[in-house]
Amino acid sequence: MFDILIRDAMLVDGTGAAPFRGDIAVKDGLIAAVGEVSGPARRVIDAGGRMVTPGFCDIHTHYDGQASWDPFLAPTSLNGVTSIAMGNCGVGFAPARPDRHQWLITLLEGVEDIPGTALAEGLTWDWESFPDYLEALGRRRFTMDVAAHLPHAALRTYVMGERGADHREHPTESEIAEMARLTEEALAAGALGFSTSRTIVHRARSGENIGTLEAGAEELLAIARAMRRQGKGVIQLISDAYMTADDDFANRELDLIAAMARESGRPLSFTLQQTDEAPDRYRHIFERVAAMVAEGLDVKTQVAPRAIGALQGLEVTLNPFLFCPEWRRIEKLPLAGKLAELEKPDVRARLLEQHRQTIPADGFGKLIAFGFNRMFRVTDPVDYEPSADRSIAAEAKAAGRDPADYMLDLLREEGGHRLIYMPLINYARGNLDDVHAMLSAPNTLFGLSDGGAHCGTICDASFPTSTLAIWARGNKAGHAVPLESLVHGLTLRNARHVGWHDRGALKPGLRADLNIIDLDRLGLSPPRMVHDLPAGGGRLLQTPRGIDLTLCRGVVTFEAGEATGELPGTLLRA
């Protein structure tokens, strides 16, 4: 007898093959049969032509802290994801000496916008070494399977102490050897791989650059050779190569990436996005990656299915008045207190005057404060390709208002819950045409959701839903991606890259991680701020429409958008 039999489904099997109509049976946590299936089952589900896919594999999340207290790991789990990789971008919480706990919290608070109070209260710290951390995860259960990279920033400070947090410091020969030894130890214990960060965007709460920013080739290649000796694991990293207009800098970074892949002999992926400063850099990077692949290296870029969109508002981290002293005076007040202050004419006057005079030095800061032509009301359903004529600048102009003054009124709408969407990255030309080019290119992985991070800034853990909802139908210019290619990118392609060979396709004998999706209804509700983290910490949560049922290990974890309470997910050791 089958445990579950799903009848009359449109099966999109994850391999890239064309969809086909059929049934799928589940028994003992595995797919038992696919096609025309008959036989008794404890539960029979009539899909009625709805789409069935493998569970999605999200290889770029930051639930490293949250996984120590939260079994649900939302909003990622709400969006059809059944397997995740944590510890990306070189940040995480192991290895960790007891005297470095607060520093690691401060680092993650700055780099990934995770409330430090929530981490301080929620982290269990029942580990020190990375193998200890995996053991701690292994004692827990989740709605989905979790795996973790060894993060370079934590490794560096574990070995080098306080010096490891300074990007201008370089390790001694013996310290490099110890980092390599600990990398082998972590991989032997089941680390998914090794991750590092080489971006100026990543800073601790204090404003200091991440310690790995300028890690030298000697250090990185020693770790790569340790991975070769173990013969397992993947490398994940972020570099500023995609951000720069400087060809020489970009090529130096790409040369280092190639050297790491060459020395390790392991699969490597790195972040690729589009910035306003270098809108066509991604094409150059694609050319360089193609040359690496031609050399026999397993190198891929991780790309996102939509713009990386910051959210602005009174409840979240960002708004155009963020840099004004008057805003800093009231930003810690409860929402009602902020609204009361913004009713006062003298407070508004000070905010507007300070806003005119306070010009942030960096490009992102200027965009956040003055980019009203890139700010849009969040709609329901969310429009992730808004046009310039819908911008706050356009609204203010039509009303004959100063855009900053107009924004102060917008922020008070909906009882102060109003959110403003601001596509910061992947939107240099005001549309998603370049994103289509990135998604359609060879040697790419679908990633960069950052689930578990940027709790008050973005809500991109809903990327899997956007991938299907936008690109199966086509963006506003009519560019689309075949449905089977989208599902392949969300499932088998990611799973194979990180070595999860028991999942990612609708094939007998593979893991029964499945989604039933009503593609016609698929979409996203607006994000909302909830305060359910430890110590009352807030995070943005977003729920999909149209993901009707999710199974992990053959167990229903979400049905009709609600968690069933089942926790079949476990630690995935590489």
CB atoms within 10 A of CB 181: 13
| Domain count across the chain | 3
Residues 257 and 373 in one domain: no
Domain boundary among 498, 530, 546: 498
What is the enclosing helix (H) or strand (E) of 254?
helix 247-264
Q: Averaged over 256-285, what is the pLDDT?
A: 98
Residues 395 and 524 in one domain: no
Residues 438 and 455 in one domain: yes
Residues 138 and 220 in one domain: yes
Residue 571 domain-assigned (yes or no): no
Q: How far is CA 200 from CA 77, 106, 207, 213, 353, in A?
A: 30, 16, 10, 7, 30
What is residue 112's predicted lDDT score, i.e. its pLDDT? Answer: 84
Q: What own/partner pairs with CB < 8 Å and gap ≥ 24 does 499-504 have?
A: 499/192, 499/232, 499/234, 499/267, 499/574, 500/57, 500/83, 500/147, 500/572, 503/54, 503/55, 503/57, 503/82, 503/83, 504/14, 504/54, 504/57
Kindly tell me if the per-residue pLDDT of 421 is higher than 80. yes
Kindly tell me if the per-residue pLDDT of 361 is higher than 80. no
Residues 66 and 179 in one domain: yes
Residues 286 and 322 in one domain: no
Residue 403 domain-assigned (yes or no): yes
Residues 34 and 162 in one domain: no
Q: Which amino acid is at 256?
A: L
Domain boundaries, position 109: 57-307+430-498
Residue 164 domain-assigned (yes or no): yes
What is residue 205's predicted lDDT score, i.e. its pLDDT? Answer: 84
- Looking at per-residue pLDDT, the higher value among 154 and 111 belongs to 154
DSSP readout, 218-232?
Answer: HHHHHHHHHHHHHT-
Kindly tell me if the per-residue pLDDT of 440 is higher than 90. yes
Residues 443 and 463 in one domain: yes
Residue 506 domain-assigned (yes or no): no
Residue 339 domain-assigned (yes or no): yes
Residue 79 domain-assigned (yes or no): yes
Q: Which pLDDT band, with edges at 50, 70 and 90, does 113 fall under? A: confident
Measure the CA–CA gap between 169 and 167, rounded to whole angstroms. Answer: 5
CATH code assigned at 545: 2.30.40.10
Q: How far is CA 361 from the centre of its chain?
A: 27
Residue 84 domain-assigned (yes or no): yes
Residues 86 and 192 in one domain: yes
Residues 125 and 174 in one domain: yes
What is residue 364's predicted lDDT score, i.e. its pLDDT? Answer: 84
Residues 222 and 139 in one domain: yes
What's the mean per-residue pLDDT of the chain?
97
**Cβ(297)–Cβ(257) under 8 Å?**
no
Q: Averaged over 234-263, what is the pLDDT?
A: 98
Residue 452 domain-assigned (yes or no): yes
pLDDT digits (tens, 9 = 90+) for 383-400: 999 999 999 999 999 999
CATH code assigned at 152: 3.20.20.140
Residues 30 and 118 in one domain: no
